[in-house]
Structures are given as structure tokens and as C-alpha cells.
Structure 1
Amino acid sequence: MTYQTKAIANKFIDLAKEGGSPLSPMKLQKLVYFAHGWFLSLSKGQPLIDEKIEAWRYGPVVPSLYHEFKSLGSKTIRDYATDMDKDFEIVTPHLPDDESLSAFIKKIWEVYGKYDGIQLSNITHKPDTPWAKVWGENGVPKNTDIPDSDIKEYFDKIRDSQSVT
């Protein structure tokens, strides 16, 4: 089962608020990316989010999250991501009650939440990462997806060399 990207993002926003930690749009992007990558690896290829991740200059990006929070620049996110339902009402997506999913997201927060957006971006820019593989030396055309298969393969390699769960 995949989840709404903004619901995953809102869970990270909850965790940041609970811990009194600043959460910038860049940091949120990278947390969602790492959660998606680990989920792909641990679930044998099942995507976590219902959107594709694209290769942008500063690393992996989910465009809907970018557009939701771009007006903040590098300021702290204070409000939840929202969507519009079929009746054109604004809604705040949240995850269903699922203890294992909540524990998984909390684990990603514990591991990566201590880093800021720039630090997380730097991790995604290392050689042989899915972003680096797609981005190449000269960049890529706008809206170029990072294949889930590349993301899974990368996180499988990390998983095989160390345990995060």
C-alpha cells in the first residue's frame, strides 16, 4: 500500500513539532526521500509514497511538497501540507493508525532528523546515489524522475552493509 506523500510529510511535521526541532522545506524533502528509499528496500520494492521523486539541483524532490512549502524558503515549517478533496475542500492528509508505519517513520526521524536540510542534501549528492546517477555531470532536463528501482538498489546496498532497523 502506498500513502499520500503529504500525509508522510505531515507525520514528519508532527515529529518535528513534538521534539521542538526546526524543519525546513529542504529537510522535509530529504526526510520523505529517505523514508521512501528505506521503505522500498525493506518492503522488497513496495513504494511508500504515491508520487515520483525527481532529480533537482539540490537533490531528490517531490514537486508537490516543493510547491506546498516553497514560499518559506529555508524557514521552519509551522503548518501542515494540505490537499484538495473531490469536493474542492482543503483537507490535511494524515496517515491511518498503523503502529508499524508510525514506528518506521519515527525511526527515519531518529536517524536523519538530527541533520539539517543542507547536510541531508549533501548525503543525497554523494557519488553513486540515485540522484547522482540521474543528475550526472551536467544536470538533467526538468521533471526527470529518479526510478524507484535505482532508489531501492541504493538502499539495499546500504541495508546490506549496515542495519538501521
Structure 2
Amino acid sequence: MKSIQVANAFILRHGSDIDITNLVLNKLVYFAQVESLRETGKPLFEDKIEAWSYGPVEKDVYYTFRKYGRNKISKSEGEAAKDEQTLSIIDRTAKKYGFLTAFDLVGFSHRKNSAWKNVYREGESVEITNDDILASDDGLTFPKNTLASSLDEVNAKWQNTFRILRNA
């Protein structure tokens, strides 16, 4: 399977629920690969993943959707993954990471002992291998200090804050 098929499935299945930009899409496809490796021991797709300055990138996905810039991707481009195991991993990945902002995903992919952090070299497109992923903490820890977790803290401390703001 190709990474673009995984990307297209994310767009088709979760594009109405998640603000999927090219940056977000590349991180979701990457974390779907991580989930597959952790769960099944097998990669979800065969394409190479590279460590770029903003985190893990699948070049085919990036170049296919770069015309959207920072804007939300409005439609898939080509064939989407269809097998149930792949779709199940995509759905779990979307549920686990889809609420995070693009910057939350970048920060999480850049944390200590992430595969990206372990291989990244500025100015180079270094491959993140399956072995690099399995040797990292990717898929073993959950993002902390995100926008979503901060909003949860505010809501817990001042329960009416968002209702008041919504009605203002």
C-alpha cells in the first residue's frame, strides 16, 4: 500500500471532523504507520518517511497536497485505502490524534526520544525507518501540554468559562 492511499482515506473518513491541512495530514499518516507497527509489527504503507524541519513527512503525500498550502484539504486525490484493518488503524489514529492542532502534532513529533528527534539533521532529508520508529517512544506515550489539554484544564477550573464566551 502507498502512503497516499492512507492519506486519502483520512480525508474521506475524517475530513469533515478534523481540520486536515497538509501538515496535519502528514503527521496523521505518520502516526498511523506508528500504530500499525506497534499493533501488528508490520508497516501500513511502503513509502519512505523523512525527517523534515516540521516533523515526519511522506513526500508523495506532501507534494500531492502542497497546493493547499496551510489551508484545509477539501478533497482526496486518487485511490484511498479500503481494507478493514487499514481503515480501523486510520480511525483509531484519527480518534487518538485528530483533535490536536497542527502545532501540537509538530511539538509531539519533536519531543525527546521521538523517531524524528532521534534522526533529524538540519538541512538533510533523513529517512525515519521502521526500526527507528520501534526504537522510539512514538506510539507509547500520549501528547501532553497541548492546546486541547490546556482547554480541558480551564474548563475544569472555571466550568462556565466556555459557555460564557460562547454566549458573549
- Which TM-score bucket, shorter chain as reference? 0.7 to 0.9
TM-score (norm 2): 0.77
Match runs of 1:1-165 below 5 Å: 3-19=1-17, 21-44=18-41, 46-81=42-77, 92-96=78-82, 98-136=83-121, 139-141=122-124, 143-154=125-136, 158=140
Question: What is the distance in 2 between the residues matched to 1:149 and 1:55?
Answer: 14
Give 1:155 shift: 5.0
Tell me how far apart the structure 1 counterparts of residues 26 and 93 of structure 2 sit (CA, whole Å).
13
Per the TM alignment, residue 156 of structure 1 is displaced from its structure 2 partner at its CA by 7.3
- Paired with 1:155 and 1:35, the residues of 2 have a C-alpha distance of 14
Computed over aligned residues only, the root mean square deviation of the Cα atoms, in angstroms, reads: 1.8
Identity rate of aligned residues, in percent?
28
SS in 1 for 2:105: helix
Structure 1 stretches lacking a partner, 5+ long = 82-91, 160-165
Unaligned runs of 5+ in 2: 142-168
Contact 1:26 1:118 in 2 (8 A): no
Question: Structure 1 residue runs of 4+, over 3 Å off?
Answer: none
Asked if the contact 1:25–1:72 (Cα under 8 Å) also holds between the matched residues in 2, the reply is yes
Structure 1 distance, partners of 2:128, 2:87, is 25
2:51 partner SS: strand
User: Against the structure 1 CA distance between its residues 133 and 155, is the aligned structure 2 distance closer, same or farther, given a 3 Å change threshold?
Assistant: closer
Deviation per residue, 1:99-140 (Å, 9 max, x gap): 33322211111110101221111100001111001115xx25
What is the Cα deviation at residue 153 of structure 1?
Answer: 2.5
Q: Deviations over 1:30-71 (max 9, x none)?
A: 000000011111112x11112010010000001111111112
* Greater relative contact order structure (CA < 8 Å, 6+ sep): 1
Q: How many residues align?
A: 141
Specify whether residues 133 and 48 from structure 1 end up closer, same or farther in structure 2 by C-alpha distance, changes over 3 A only: same
Mark the CA change 1:130 to 1:18 in structure 2 (over 3 Å): closer, same or farther. Answer: same
CA–CA distance in 2 between the matches of 1:94 and 1:140? 32
SS of the residue corresponding to residue 75 of structure 2 reads: coil
User: Which structure has the larger Rg?
Assistant: 2
| Structure 1 CA distance for aligned equivalents of residues 73 and 106 of structure 2 | 17
